[in-house]
Structure 1
Amino acid sequence: MTKHEISRRKLLAVSAASLSAATASAGCLGSSSGSGSGETETSSWRTQELATVPAESYDDLYQNDENEQSGETVNHLTWTGYDASNVQDPFRETFEANTQLDLFTSNPKAFNRLNSGEWQQFHQATFDMAWLPNLAEAELIRPIDYEDWKEYTFDKYIDIFKPENGYKYAFLNEDDYSFDVDGTMYGAPQRFGWASFVVNTDTVSSSDYSSYDAAWSEDYDVGVYDLMFWGIQIIMLREGIDPYKEHTEEEVEQVRQATFDLFDNAKTLLPDFASMNQALKSGEIDIGFISGNWINGTLRRGENLQFEAHVPEEGGVIWVETTTFVKGEQPTVSDNYLAHMQRGETALNLSWPTSGGTNVVPHATAWDEYDDFQREVLRVDDIPDILDRSVFYTGVPDLDKFEPIWREAKTRI
């Protein structure tokens, strides 16, 4: 199984537009996906000359010129936490602008919404990075000029998220829409984390939770979170199978047997992560499969630090929420909004929002400003090792093969 690749690169830039002069023409263009939304067909918007960021410094971009930006609204399709008051209010006050956030919990459902014509309702969207190829191929998002945006984005990130160190999950080769460290920028990383399993370190031996095998052990009470998408990937990692390729019949059967064994051993099936957290806190279960930092962060923030989304020797799966510009007409303040979301202070607040869960961000300023308690809750000092052991989520191409397995396994509890 391949780990995240490390290589050096010279970036190629394709211009991104957020100014109305460029986006007015982009807004009438249709998706090549045939969504039936009544969009007109024209030449690809990628060939148009698009406006670039109207600033020479970070402070120039993040300021209110008291011009036509005042009173505008940025519509953002994204996850919980982004809507927190400490994340949004500073922007609203600085620019006398509005933000409208539409929250989702499923990448496929959010993609289908945009692809069915709802792209016209949004200016920016934040997806897990594996969905960037789908969004770009469907012409639902626009490329971003790396050279114009690097000082507001990648220059501000921790080393593992810098393209010169091999981070490729915001860049696409436009020939086949694969991730390509030498490709075109389509998004800005905003928040990240990992999927693995959660253990109560007070009741589970550290020698046992060094492997996912602990969830298959009769020595512990195990709860399975009914989230097939992540669960199947973690089972594949335990079985030594690469999740991100087409799978043979033998591999599917291997995953089937491992899934059945897991459910046979489990004490309970949990419908949501709130139920999992409650089962952990009450002592009903010792291990939750699957879990991640976005799930148990609430417990840890409440000083229940014995609950740990541990990444054992088989590795975890890294997801990176990545913000994109949606095609179509943009308010002039849209660039400023993305710049606001990339500021170190905003990133710190997004990592520790007034509402929504705690998650780590790739912004170096936030890492420098975490206090001791935040570092412990977020497990900041463990993250380099977690990243080194894990794989970056790029999409399971034959996920439909595993859905019937999960459904049948649930009947065994």
Structure 2
Amino acid sequence: MTIMHRTNDTTYRLSSVPWRAGPISRRHALMGGAALLAGLGFSGNARAARTLNWIGWDGYQGDEVIGPFKKTHDLSVKFESLTDSGGTFTKLAAGAYRDYDLVVNDVPWIQRMGAAGICEFLDPGEFKETFDSFYPQFQPPFAPLTWEGKTTGLPTRWGWVGVNINTKFSDPDDWTSYAPVFDPKNKDKIGILDFGDWATFQVILYAGINPFKEMGSAELAEVRKVFRALFKNTRLITADLVQAQRTLLDGSALIFLAGGNYIASGLRKAGHMEMMSFVPEPINGLQQGVIWLEAAAVMKDASEPELAKGLIKHLVSEEAGRALAWTEWSACPVPNKHVAETLSAEQRKVIQTDDMWTYYERSLTYQVAPNIDDILAIWQEELSAG
């Protein structure tokens, strides 16, 4: 088994505050080949009248996404790349929220901003037109972005984590569950994309355990057994997206766990429609996939709160949604229901819009797992033992 370790030391770093500083993000690996921008230049005039300070995932700051908003409002955007979802939350909660007007992060961390008192709660009435443009699944009350009945942010882009295979080498009918990853005949044919906690979820769900609920000692013991069995068949564990994609393309691995639609879609977008990303059916009522979801929020005491709210409305608009759904590196669904209507049949096929709600229903929405420290410790122990 080949293990490609990250060089970023945040992979399994634990926070000194009640929330864990999460592992390196999938987008950080996804965008790792791109230059990280410290800020964007002015649009239009040589000197813009106002500036928004923003921290978020790469891709959102692109001119095709926010250029129209900047031009309309004679605005400069100072953007900082987010590379660690939990670590960024910890940083903001420690007081850095005062340095920004806006944040785009994974949903559980946006929700926890409400508990930490560092976000501006949004008035659903003020965003009624925006919510009306959303698919019903994301309209209020949307629990993952609610804290004590108040709205902490708006969803911006999403997808699923389940099975990723190349149909040239693997039959989709063989993957009605994750059972084949444990089959001895598939020894040295299983790949794992090592995006921290994301790498653990599917096989925990297959074992009949909900990773987002508190676990007892018996469940943690079962998690250890499942990890041990998984590593016996694993060919490659890597955080290198390109290496994972190459291994799927040449058939070296039959499947890559933790490789969601954000991985397969990039290959499909490049013409490799043999790549499939899907979620197996629930087992005994327990979903077998995990929904990843990004969201935007306004910081408490933001210097430009109205502009920040306006930018959020823009990010989830049809215009910006088209750009977010079809980036250089991936092609993913967005909450705005009108975006898919404007895409070509080929684009919708790449994004898998015909099947996305099936995979949504077969998945749990990502949360910070209560036992994540235990889970990652067991993962590391079994990995080292193997």
Q: In 2, Cα distance between the equivalents of 1:133 and 1:380?
A: 27
Correspondence 1:14-93 to 2 at 5 A = 71-93=49-71
Paired AA for residue 111 in structure 1: F
Q: In 2, Cα distance between the equivalents of 1:364 and 1:412?
A: 47
What's the counterpart of residue 312 of structure 2? Answer: 338
Residue 203 in structure 1 maps to residue 169 in structure 2: yes
Judge conservation of contact 2:169–2:251 (CA < 8 Å) in 1.
no
Shift in Å, 1:155 = 0.9
SS at 1:364 equivalent: coil
Correspondence 1:107-126 to 2 at 5 A = 107-126=85-104
What's the counterpart of residue 224 of structure 2? Answer: 256
Q: In 2, Cα distance between the equivalents of 1:383 and 1:184?
A: 28
Shift in Å, 1:99 = 1.5
Q: In 2, Cα distance between the equivalents of 1:254 and 1:108?
A: 27
Correspondence 1:249-288 to 2 at 5 A = 249-288=217-256
What's the counterpart of residue 168 of structure 1? Answer: 143
Residue 405 in structure 1 maps to residue 383 in structure 2: no
Cα distance change, pair 143–167 in 1 and its aligned pair in 2 (3 A): closer
SS at 1:224 equivalent: strand
Judge conservation of contact 1:161–1:362 (CA < 8 Å) in 2.
yes
Paired AA for residue 372 in structure 1: A
What's the counterpart of residue 329 of structure 1? Answer: 302
Q: Could you give the per-residue CA deviations for residues 146-195 of structure 1, whole angstroms, max 9, x where no partner exists?
A: 1111212x1110122223xx63222221xxxxxxxxx1111111111111
SS at 1:329 equivalent: coil
Correspondence 1:93-104 to 2 at 5 A = 93-104=71-82
Q: In 2, Cα distance between the equivalents of 1:34 and 1:402?
A: 17
Q: Could you give the per-residue CA deviations for residues 233-267 of structure 1, whole angstroms, max 9, x where no partner exists?
A: 21221111111111011111111111111111011
**TM-score for the superposition, normalised by structure 2:** 0.82
Cα distance change, pair 101–388 in 1 and its aligned pair in 2 (3 A): same
1:232 to 200, 218, 227: 200
Q: In 2, Cα distance between the equivalents of 1:214 and 1:328?
A: 51
1:223 to 183, 191, 196: 191
Paired AA for residue 323 in structure 1: A
What's the counterpart of residue 318 of structure 1? Answer: 291
Cα distance change, pair 74–252 in 1 and its aligned pair in 2 (3 A): same
Q: In 1, Cα distance between the equivalents of 2:272 and 2:104?
A: 30
SS at 2:103 equivalent: strand
SS at 1:207 equivalent: helix
Aligned residues: 335
Q: Could you give the per-residue CA deviations for residues 107-146 of structure 1, whole angstroms, max 9, x where no partner exists?
A: 1111122123221221111122112342111111121111
Q: Could you give the per-residue CA deviations for residues 198-244 of structure 1, whole angstroms, max 9, x where no partner exists?
A: 11122112221111112223444111122230122212211111111
Q: Which structure has the larger Rg? A: 1
Judge conservation of contact 1:80–1:356 (CA < 8 Å) in 2.
no
Q: In 2, Cα distance between the equivalents of 1:364 and 1:234?
A: 28
Range that drifts further, 94-103 or 244-253: 94-103
Paired AA for residue 156 in structure 1: S
Shift in Å, 1:372 = 0.9
Q: In 1, Cα distance between the equivalents of 2:128 and 2:54?
A: 21
What's the counterpart of residue 349 of structure 1? Answer: 323
Shift in Å, 1:268 = 1.5
Gap runs ≥5 in structure 2: 1-16, 20-46, 283-287
Gap runs ≥5 in structure 1: 1-32, 36-68, 174-182
What's the counterpart of residue 305 of structure 1? Answer: 273
Shift in Å, 1:392 = 1.4
Range that drifts further, 269-278 or 254-263: 269-278
Paired AA for residue 374 in structure 2: K
Residue 105 in structure 1 maps to residue 83 in structure 2: yes
Q: In 2, Cα distance between the equivalents of 1:342 and 1:388?
A: 22
SS at 2:322 equivalent: helix
Paired AA for residue 200 in structure 1: N
Judge conservation of contact 1:224–1:263 (CA < 8 Å) in 2.
no
**TM-score for the superposition, normalised by structure 1:** 0.77
Q: In 1, Cα distance between the equivalents of 2:48 and 2:307?
A: 8
What's the counterpart of residue 23 of structure 2? Answer: none
Q: In 2, Cα distance between the equivalents of 1:34 and 1:330?
A: 28
Q: In 1, Cα distance between the equivalents of 2:111 and 2:68?
A: 32
Residue 379 in structure 1 maps to residue 352 in structure 2: yes
Paired AA for residue 396 in structure 1: A
Paired AA for residue 368 in structure 1: E
Q: In 2, Cα distance between the equivalents of 1:124 and 1:356?
A: 24
2:156 to 167, 187, 190: 190
Paired AA for residue 99 in structure 2: Q
Paired AA for residue 196 in structure 1: G
Q: In 2, Cα distance between the equivalents of 1:213 and 1:84?
A: 41
Paired AA for residue 191 in structure 1: R
